Structure 1
Amino acid sequence: MSSPLSAALLVALLGAWFGHANPISHVPGAALLFPAALFWIALKASSPSAAFRSGWICAAAAYAACLYWVFIPVHVHGGLPWILALPCPILLGLYLGLYGGVFSSLIHWARPALSPAFLGLSAGLLWGGMEMAQGTLFSGFSWLTLPAALAPWPAAIQGLALVGEYWLSAMFVAATAWLILSRESTFSLLLGIATPLILIGFGIMTLAKPLPEGESVRVTLVQGNIDQTVKWETEYQEATVRAYLNLTAKELSSGPELVVWPETAMPFYLQEEHALSRQVRDFVRSQEHFTLLTGAPRYEVNLSTGEIGYANSAFLLGPKGETIDVYDKEHLVPFGEYVPLAGLLPFIRRLAHSEGDFVPGNDPAPLRWDRLALGMLICYEAIFPGLSRERVRAGANLLVNISNDAWFGRSSAPRQHLNQAVLRSVEQGRFLVRSTNTGVSAIIDPRGRRLEAGGLFHRLTLSYPEVLLLEDRTFYHRHFAFLQALLPAAVALLLGSVWWLRRRRASFGMK
């Protein structure tokens, strides 16, 4: 491996690892070193193919390092032998690294045709388009985005309410590229300094403003910390129910109006009439002053065909213990809740428990009770900007993310997942309450500030007395379709313009 490539690989690895949540030390701004390394590769490469190859190697290594935790659910809970599970994060990194390789290759190809100022802008557009493609193609995996790395710095992410995740990435990467090109252009230096200063200055001013007015509710989150390896065993179901009931009972003196339990907190069919479901409903009925939201599996029988469909669901129970409404998870996890190409991959089994593959829901309407309109995001639905927007568009005044991150053990994944959820609150201008089995549970305000947050693998409760039910829509929400269409259109215009300029230069015999 050449010395320049080794240096770029080291910068990309350190930038991605420390820039995103990790078990050692999280330095959000370091994430900018990752696109910086790929841009530098593009400038130094001898050809587009060499840029692609080097960019792919660096990006694949960085993604694989940050996603090392994929090994844990595949091996520990999926039963795949470690020799077969170990390559999984590497394979995922190799796939995601293709986007990095394309980024470096296109920057190298565009450089002769563009001025430094336009080349930096192109880098931003290409990076934002790359992240959008990652979150869309093949069911989408919008996980290690640049704004997610910056989520612990609320001042850096307030632009999400204006332009959303992918455009904010584009702006920060453009600024990074301009700084790298500053030796070639004073104007690039000015752009590279001004852009982040404007973004962060806007963020500081936004954080200083009061939140919009809205009715407040007291919300309690319960983190049961149930061992995933025994969770679905029948003999442990009674203990699981008692754990959640006891934790909730300790918070009732504070008068919560909404209590939230995690994804599949109840490891049985709550819709059925049996001793365990009666315990839950009788407990809620005995208090008569709060509603309970809990995750549980659900099934539905098609009376005409006899087929049974299974869903990963959220049940909203009213003060009398009755089921008010149910939400079925819409965006399922590949290999977790269903197996793509199951006929070709018979040796792979689902990680999630059910009698068969889960069926996706198709109703983004909020779960309603009294003043509450709960926009549901189950598990990694929180990583997709469009899903939270659909819930707010349907009338949600509070976003609720329930998850079970016990699959990932004591790894980076739970905190990386939390950072993605933070982005949704800012984009949509909503409080987001997040209840998980083993952490990280949190209450997040519309500015992305973590008002309450728990630790990993602790049995705990979190309460907040003034969760606001908001109705205002952000600029990003109102213009979502336009902004989503504008980014790929801008990338297409960029590529078309570079192609034309290169042909024009070639026709005049210019290098």
Structure 2
Amino acid sequence: MKHLLLALATGLLLAFGWPTYGFPVLLFVAFIPLLYVAHDIKEQQTIKYKGWRLFALSYLAFFIWNFITTNWLQYADMFGACFAILVNSLLMALLILIYQAVAKRTTINKSLLFLITLWICFEKLHLNWEFSWPWLNLGNAFSEYPKWIQWYEFTGAFGGTLWVWLVNGILFKALLTFFKFKENSILKRAAIQTTLLICLPIVFSIVRYYTYTPEEDTIEAVVLQPNIDPYSEKYNATNKRVGELLIQLAEENITENTNLLVSPETVLAENYGVNLPRFNSSSEFFQAKSFVYNYPNLNYLLGLQFYQKHTNKADILPTSNQYNDKLWVDYYNSAAFINADKEPLIYHKSKLVVGVENFPYQSILKPIIGDAMLDLGGTVAMKTTQKERSAFKLKNSEYKVAPVICYESVYGEYVTGYVREGANVLAIMTNDAWWGNTQGHKQHLSYARLRAIETRRAIARSANTGISAFISPKGDIIKTLAYEEQGSLKARIPVNTNITFYVQAGDYIARISMFLALGLFVITFFRRDRV
């Protein structure tokens, strides 16, 4: 019963430390109960099936965390929600088993260092493999407290993960040492160490928050929130009617000085979308082009779905969707950059939603489970991506804007690619309506604040049903348009040119952790430490 209660404690502490409803300080002690369970199971000789017992208790803890924080996925697709929650809990529980195997063979210091680096490697895996799901990476937990984490401009969100685990590790080791020697000085020393470890980064961050000032230049931006139901209205409405609605909403706030207008992702998605090779002669393009002609400085970022047909096998890609022996079609979740002077520029979303826009490890899984793409109300098909990020130069300006589409905004190092391409402002185009009025869309907005701090770039965020917002380079939300409210939002936002250390170095904490975890694993299993 004691082990069960401790596992429940870990799950609940993790869950109630999560944004946007929780208090992240809970995470600094959240893993201690589960680590104690692992230690106690290892030390007790009378317990049978130790591995299975630890796995079950770890799985329970992580299932509670995953379920409470991400059960909103069910509103988009029940199978997808079950898969994400059950499999992610499984992977996290396996990490504890691997840690336990190492802890049996080495010192507590080395085993804890191994666990910390192993967890960071796991989070890095979640940013890069085809079953990518970095929603619960620990560094995300501080997104509602930007004054605490201004140092993310140096470390990225992995700095937050390391922060959480270092505090848990120090406190857990102190707890074991106290149980062994029963000296109060051990707890006092640990309290001082953890207080400094928690407070010093926060103090540094607060000082940085109040002393940091963005560059003086600004642009005027307008974001649109059409509030279209993605399950019915969006795919039944014509592109012409939706385009007219966007223009109507824009005219509520747009002026001759407006530099940037941002729409949500795939807001034009009638039938199968717009024919990509013929976009320059399409009615959708001419509708947008005729509108921007009325405003001398305007640049319009328009979200739409493209398609491109292939009848020649030589032209097909691994992501092409086959309809018959003679026809393949590529689909794209894209942003079109339109102004009065140039031909449109196109960016194709490249970090795709698992099971909705891509089929993970298709060559392996499709023969086993068939076509298991999830239907979120639109074209159920693989999406085609592009290799590099794009940043579009604003008309009558030296500055560039990045078209960050939806899920891409969850990936820290990925977003730095836009900045390295010259982006001075981030425009996030998203459609969070699939999840209803739940924590899903609130967390998605909150995570965008991390990208602002990491890159020191202001963000103009257009969400179909909300929450549309402007975010400062310090991670503060300047203005918002409430969920399910139709309208537009205008603000002047700074355009920065400075490059942060994190933009230059990327996820270096994860890369270092990979070498440390591998080295510790090899040393542990091929050389025994002297006790």
Q: TM-score, normalised by structure 1?
A: 0.86
Measured in 2, the distance between the counterparts of 1:309 and 1:396 equals: 28
Confirm or deny: 8 A CA contact 1:43 1:107 kept in the other structure: no
* Residue of structure 2 equivalent to 1:80: none
**Secondary structure of 1:451's match?**
strand
* Residue of structure 2 equivalent to 1:285: 293
Measured in 2, the distance between the counterparts of 1:26 and 1:448 equals: 18
* Residue of structure 1 equivalent to 2:419: 392
Measured in 2, the distance between the counterparts of 1:159 and 1:252 equals: 35
Measured in 1, the distance between the counterparts of 2:126 and 2:243 equals: 39
Q: What residue ranges of structure 2 are gaps of 5+ in the alignment?
A: 43-49, 178-185, 316-326
Q: Structure 2 matches for 1:207-356, cutoff 5 A?
A: 207-235=209-237, 237-253=239-255, 255-268=257-270, 269=273, 271=279, 273=281, 275-301=283-309, 305=315, 307-319=328-340, 323-340=343-360, 341=362, 342-343=366-367, 344-346=369-371, 348-351=373-376, 353-354=378-379, 356=381
> How many Å apart are 1:180 and its aligned residue?
3.4
Measured in 2, the distance between the counterparts of 1:38 and 1:219 equals: 48
Residue 486 of structure 1 pairs with residue 486 of structure 2? no
Give, as a single letter, the amino acid of the residue that structure 2 aligns with 1:433: A
Measured in 2, the distance between the counterparts of 1:233 and 1:90 equals: 26
**Secondary structure of 2:130's match?**
helix
Measured in 1, the distance between the counterparts of 2:237 and 2:351 equals: 31
Measured in 2, the distance between the counterparts of 1:225 and 1:97 equals: 34
Structure with the greater relative contact order (CA < 8 A, sep ≥ 6): 1 or 2? 2
Confirm or deny: 8 A CA contact 2:374 2:380 kept in the other structure: no
* Residue of structure 1 equivalent to 2:204: 202
Q: Pick one of 13, 16, 32 that aligns with 1:15.
A: 13
Measured in 2, the distance between the counterparts of 1:112 and 1:228 equals: 52
Q: What residue ranges of structure 1 are gaps of 5+ in the alignment?
A: 75-84
> How many Å apart are 1:328 and its aligned residue?
0.6
Confirm or deny: 8 A CA contact 2:132 2:354 kept in the other structure: no
Structure 1 residues 51 and 365: alpha-carbon distance in aligned structure 2, compared to 1, 3 A threshold: same
Residue 158 of structure 1 pairs with residue 143 of structure 2? no
Measured in 2, the distance between the counterparts of 1:480 and 1:274 equals: 40
The answer to which of 481-490 and 372-381 deviates more is: 481-490
Q: Pick one of 28, 35, 53 that aligns with 2:24.
A: 28
Structure 1 residues 376 and 296: alpha-carbon distance in aligned structure 2, compared to 1, 3 A threshold: same
Residue 61 of structure 1 pairs with residue 86 of structure 2? no
* Residue of structure 1 equivalent to 2:436: 409
Residue 368 of structure 1 pairs with residue 405 of structure 2? no
RMSD: 2.8
> How many Å apart are 1:435 and its aligned residue?
1.1
Residue 504 of structure 1 pairs with residue 529 of structure 2? yes
Q: Percent identity?
A: 20
* Residue of structure 2 equivalent to 1:4: 3
Measured in 1, the distance between the counterparts of 2:526 and 2:17 equals: 37
The answer to which of 40-49 and 389-398 deviates more is: 40-49
> How many Å apart are 1:290 and its aligned residue?
1.2
Give, as a single letter, the amino acid of the residue that structure 2 aligns with 1:312: N
Confirm or deny: 8 A CA contact 1:399 1:433 kept in the other structure: yes
Measured in 1, the distance between the counterparts of 2:500 and 2:217 equals: 18
Measured in 2, the distance between the counterparts of 1:496 and 1:390 equals: 34
**Secondary structure of 1:493's match?**
helix
* Residue of structure 2 equivalent to 1:52: 55
Give, as a single letter, the amino acid of the residue that structure 1 aligns with 2:459: L
Measured in 1, the distance between the counterparts of 2:478 and 2:106 equals: 46
> How many Å apart are 1:415 and its aligned residue?
1.4
Give, as a single letter, the amino acid of the residue that structure 2 aligns with 1:311: Y
Measured in 1, the distance between the counterparts of 2:490 and 2:221 equals: 6
Confirm or deny: 8 A CA contact 1:64 1:90 kept in the other structure: no
Confirm or deny: 8 A CA contact 1:261 1:295 kept in the other structure: yes
How many correspondences in the alignment?
Answer: 488
Residue 357 of structure 1 pairs with residue 382 of structure 2? yes
The answer to which of 209-218 and 341-350 deviates more is: 341-350
Measured in 1, the distance between the counterparts of 2:495 and 2:418 equals: 14
> How many Å apart are 1:167 and its aligned residue?
3.4
Measured in 2, the distance between the counterparts of 1:105 and 1:45 equals: 11
**Secondary structure of 1:181's match?**
helix
Confirm or deny: 8 A CA contact 2:76 2:376 kept in the other structure: yes
Structure 1 residues 446 and 119: alpha-carbon distance in aligned structure 2, compared to 1, 3 A threshold: farther
Residue 475 of structure 1 pairs with residue 466 of structure 2? no
* Residue of structure 1 equivalent to 2:180: none
* Residue of structure 2 equivalent to 1:104: 96
